[in-house]
Amino acid sequence: MKSAKPNTRRNFLLAAGLGTAGAAAAVATATRGVKGAKEAASPDTSSGYRDSEHIRKYYETTKV
């Protein structure tokens, strides 16, 4: 009978940790979804490849 208490505590702590992680993931995806909707609503004026500063830096790091 004494072994039932530690398992119960472990299960509670495990469930509390998973619940917290799930809530954080839900908030993160909800926030990301709002940003994605705003970007999708704006008209896309670019067409094709766009060269930018960070792209050029990346290409410089890949040179042999």
Specify if 26 maps to a domain: yes
Looking at residue 38, what DSSP letter applies? H
State the Cα–Cα distance between residues 52 and 41, nearest whole angstrom: 23
Whether residue 1 is predicted with pLDDT greater than 70 in this model: the reply is no
User: Where are the extended beta strands (E) located within 1-64?
Assistant: none
**Structural domain count of the chain:** 1
Task: Confirm whether pTM is higher than 0.95.
Answer: no
**Which of 25-48 are b and which e, b meaning 16 or more Cβ less than 10 Å from the residue's Cβ?**
eeeeeeeeeeeeeeeeeeeeeeee
* Residue 54 within any structural domain of the chain: no
Domain that holds residue 12: 1-39
**For 10-48, how does the pLDDT look when each residue is reduced to its tens digit (9 = 90+)?**
888 888 887 787 777 777 777 655 555 555 555 556 678
